[in-house]
A and B are shown apart, each in its own frame.
Chain A
């Protein structure tokens, strides 16, 4: 056994901190796109549009049924061999695409369940006052579904932040990639990876606090 090199670890903190923005950028962009895509997928799953529904089911099944790492490799290394216009795609873009598709499949299922969780009589009330399907979804159902789904969606966001660490396998230097490079130079693998682990942990803890506040805010219409 040897003692931890604390000075080395402290010195590493600002270095890795410099890569937090890129990690968060990938996660926020991935989450934004995934929310939009997942909502569309979920609304389709509720409406069950003929033919399209079949493709949506297949999409969700595939992206839930295969590992994120395999999907990332498929996009980044595999697809450009088949689709030549994809050759310019960089690692960050590929990672965001992969995270979007992968997480939208999971999130679509939670959003669908949340939509179905909105009391049936409110759908009927919305229809009875002459709203179109779109108005009903957008103004009555989705806001309430968002509240039901919010805790789960924040959990997916946390998973997504951790998932960005896989981008380093596509040659992206984000937090994990930076730690890997540092460790390869110093041979202090334990210290380098411990620093990066703690930093992910802190980010996730901060978010969990935000999650609690968000839930209180979203529930304000529903408490006596």
Chain B
């Protein structure tokens, strides 16, 4: 169970996240949509404290953190219950595909190297990259790098997986394979919070869609409602623009 309440963030100026409330059930897949600059990335980044929120309470599984007085231990606790997939993959350039996936298992989860190695190979097999285990990121295509990025996050078996526009930096030819892998992750009843501009994919994968604008959640409902009968004028305008 994920419970976010009163989450507020500003970078010096006006609020980028304005008192956000959001609950996500276990195994639920929530897709966040909205115009550029409305705080979608910031919402995800506040959940693992890559951006530090000024106020709000975040509960992920068995940890609850009050943003206003979060210490180092709280931040680590949240990060160890989440796993993030980045727009630009953000693979460790000095490590092979396999090592990228092993890294957190060994240094954070304190598993043995042998166990972590086996787990990494199993995850690579699921991503369809078993033959690339010993390749460095520089030798992989964008699509392959992002699949390793998703594999790195999958291996953590985190309570919540965060995806920030995982296909936006990809050449069109690689988008399909990455979306396929995300579908496979969804099959496993993994709780997912996904920011994407792939509306077709959102319709298909989401249990619930959230439309954000101006740092607020404007509309929140099943894909059929959001895409089928949007109520708010801003959402109607947004959909008209992205769906043509």
CB <8 Å contact, A221 and B107: no
Q: Which residues 41-63 in B have Cβ within 8 Å of A in the complex?
A: 48-50
CB <8 Å contact, A224 and B138: yes
CB <8 Å contact, A132 and B76: yes
Q: What 0/1 pattern do residues 101 to 142 of A give for CB contact below 8 A with B?
A: 000000000000000000101101111111110010001100
> Which A residues are CB-close (under 8 A) to B80?
130
- A223: interface (CB < 8 Å): yes
Q: Give bound CA distance, A143 to B94, whole Å.
A: 7
Q: Give bound CA distance, A111 to B83, whole Å.
A: 30
CB <8 Å contact, A129 and B156: yes
- B5: interface (CB < 8 Å): no
Interface locus among B10-18, B25-33, B85-93, B218-226: B85-93
- A144: interface (CB < 8 Å): yes
B104 CB → nearest A CB, Å: 4
CB <8 Å contact, B79 and A144: no
Q: Give bound CA distance, A222 to B103, whole Å.
A: 19
**One of A131, A221, A223 near B108 (C-beta < 8 A):** A131
CB <8 Å contact, A121 and B138: no
Q: Give bound CA distance, A132 to B104, whole Å.
A: 11
Q: Is the interface of A mostly helix, strand, loop or mixed?
A: helix
B204 CB → nearest A CB, Å: 27
> Which B residues are CB-close (under 8 A) to A221?
93-96, 136, 138
Size of interface on A: residues with Cβ below 8 Å to B: 22
A74 CB → nearest B CB, Å: 40
- B65: interface (CB < 8 Å): no
CB <8 Å contact, A129 and B136: no
Q: Give bound CA distance, A119 to B80, whole Å.
A: 22
CB <8 Å contact, B92 and A140: yes
CB <8 Å contact, B92 and A128: no
Q: Give bound CA distance, A147 to B136, whole Å.
A: 15
Q: Give bound CA distance, A130 to B138, whole Å.
A: 24
- B233: interface (CB < 8 Å): no
- B82: interface (CB < 8 Å): yes
Q: What 0/1 pattern do residues 83 to 123 of B give for CB contact below 8 A with A?
A: 11010111111111000000110011000000000000000
With CB as the reference atom, state the residue of chain A lying closest to B87.
A121
A177 CB → nearest B CB, Å: 43
Q: Which residues 152-175 in B have Cβ within 8 Å of A in the complex?
A: 152, 156
A-B contacts, 20 of them at CB < 8 A, read A119-B93, A121-B90, A122-B93, A125-B86, A127-B50, A128-B50, A128-B83, A129-B103, A129-B104, A129-B152, A130-B80, A132-B76, A139-B103, A139-B107, A140-B103, A144-B93, A147-B94, A221-B95, A221-B138, A224-B139
Residues of chain A at the chain B interface (Cβ within 8 Å): 119, 121-122, 124-132, 135, 139-140, 143-144, 147, 221-224
